[in-house]
A and B are shown apart, each in its own frame.
Chain A
C-alpha cells in the first residue's frame, strides 16, 4: 500500500537567483485531489514555482515537505517541460527510457513504450529519431514519456504553448484520462479556455507570489483580487 503523498506543504519557500527573488516566500498546502492550474503573466514565476514544487529548483529558504519520504516522493512524480528535450534516440527509445531507469528490461520497456506511442498517434514513427519530430509531436512524446511511469503527480509547464487547436485537444484528452485514473495534475497555461476546461483549482501567480488560490468555479465566476480580474480580462498586469 503506497504511503499517502499529500498534503504537499510549503512554508516560506523561497527561490533567489543572482540576488533577485524569483519565487516566494510562499506558504502553500496542496491536497491530493484534482487538477491545479497555475496562471499568471509572463515572468511571474510560474515555471520556477512548478520546478520548485517538483524539487529540481534549489530553494534558498523555507521548506517543502511531502507526506511521504523525499526519495519516495521523487520516484512518484514526473515533469513535462516547456519545449521538451528529445533524447538523441528513436521515439520508442525515448518513451522507454524512464522505465529502463527503474530497471525494466529493454524489450519489455520498448513494448510498453510502443503501446503509449500508439495512444499518442506516433505508432508508425517508432523508429524515427525523436529530434526530427514536430513541436506538437514532441509535446505528445514528452507527455507519454512522463505518463509511462504512472506517476502519482504530474507537473506540466505550458504543455500546449506552441500547439494548434487539434494537437491541444489531443493532449487535453490524454490529460483528462490521466486525471480520471487518479493522477494529480499541476499545470501552468496561458490558454484560459484550457484552464477552464481542466481546472479544479486555480493558482494565480504574480511577481513570484501566489496572489490567489481559489477553486476553479469560483475563480472563473469572479476572482477575488482585482489583478486576477484584470488578467482574465486580458489587460496587462504587473
Chain B
C-alpha cells in the first residue's frame, strides 16, 4: 500500500517539477506511438474499407486471418522484427535496430490487424446499409470506399484509439527492438520495466501513473478535436 501512495507522490512531483528525463521519455513515447498509429491507420483503414466493399474469392479467409492476427503476441513480433533488422539479418544494412524507427515498425505491425479488424466490423455494417444506394448511384469502387471511410469516421476513430491503447502500453516488442537505450529509445513502458527491475517500485509506479494520465489525455484530445470538426454531433 505504501508503494502505491509513494508512487502517486512520486508521479506528482515528477510532473509538477517537469522532470527533464520524464518529459524526454514522455515525448518519445508519444512520438513513437502516434507515428505508429498514423502509419498503421493509413494502412489498416482503407484496407478495412476495401475488404468491406469488394467481393473476392479469398475474402472469408482474409477476414479470418485478420482476426487471428489480432492475437499475435507482441513480443514475438518484436523478436521477428529484431531478427530482420539485426546487422546479420536481411535488412541489417538499414541500420535500424535500436532506433525509434524500429520501435515504430514493430508497433505498426502489431496494431494494423487490430485496427483493421475493428474498422472492418463497423464498415461492414455500414456497407450493408449503403450497398444498394451507392450501387444505384453508380459510385465507383474508390467513391464507395471514400463514402464509407468518411461517414463511418466515428467508428474508425474508435478503431484507431483501440490501436493507440494497444501501442502505448506495449513493452515487450519495443524493448527487444529498441534496446531501452537511455536518451535514445527509452520510453515510458520500458522505463517502468527498468525501474521495476531495479527494485524502485515507487519510481515505476510514478511513471505508471504518468502513462495512464497521458493515455487518457490523448484519448480526450482526439475526441475533442473530432467533435469540433463536425456540425451536429450524433
Query: Which residues of A are interface residues toward B (Cβ below 8 A)?
Result: 51, 54, 56, 74-75, 78-79, 81, 84-85, 87-90, 97-98, 101, 127-129, 131-132, 149
Q: Which residue of B lies closest to A91 (CB)?
A: B232
Q: Mark B109-145, 1 if CB is under 8 A from A, else 0.
A: 0000000000000000010011011011111000100
Q: Which residue of A lies closest to B231 (CB)?
A: A127
B135 neighbours in A (Cβ, 8 Å): 56
The answer to whether B136 touches A75, judged by C-beta atoms less than 8 angstroms apart, is: no
Q: Which residue of A lies closest to B155 (CB)?
A: A88
> How long is the Cα–Cα vector from A198 to B136 in the complex, in angstroms?
24
Query: Which residues of B are interface residues toward A (Cβ below 8 A)?
Result: 126, 129-130, 132-133, 135-139, 143, 147, 150-152, 231-232, 234
A131 neighbours in B (Cβ, 8 Å): 234
The answer to whether A56 touches B132, judged by C-beta atoms less than 8 angstroms apart, is: yes
Which single member of A78, A90, A97, A128 contacts B136 (CB below 8 Å)?
Answer: A78
The answer to whether B232 touches A87, judged by C-beta atoms less than 8 angstroms apart, is: no
A56 neighbours in B (Cβ, 8 Å): 132, 135-136
The answer to whether B132 touches A88, judged by C-beta atoms less than 8 angstroms apart, is: no
The answer to whether A54 touches B136, judged by C-beta atoms less than 8 angstroms apart, is: yes
The answer to whether B143 touches A101, judged by C-beta atoms less than 8 angstroms apart, is: yes
CB distance from A153 to the nearest CB of B (A): 12
Given the known A-B contacts A75-B138, A101-B138, A101-B139, are A89 and B133 also in contact in the complex, defined by CB atoms under 8 Å? Answer: no
> How long is the Cα–Cα vector from A192 to B129 in the complex, in angstroms?
30
> How long is the Cα–Cα vector from A216 to B147 in the complex, in angstroms?
41
The answer to whether A87 touches B138, judged by C-beta atoms less than 8 angstroms apart, is: no
The answer to whether A81 touches B133, judged by C-beta atoms less than 8 angstroms apart, is: yes
Q: Which residue of B lies closest to A98 (CB)?
A: B137
B137 neighbours in A (Cβ, 8 Å): 78, 97-98, 101, 149
B132 neighbours in A (Cβ, 8 Å): 51, 56, 79, 81, 85
The answer to whether B129 touches A85, judged by C-beta atoms less than 8 angstroms apart, is: yes
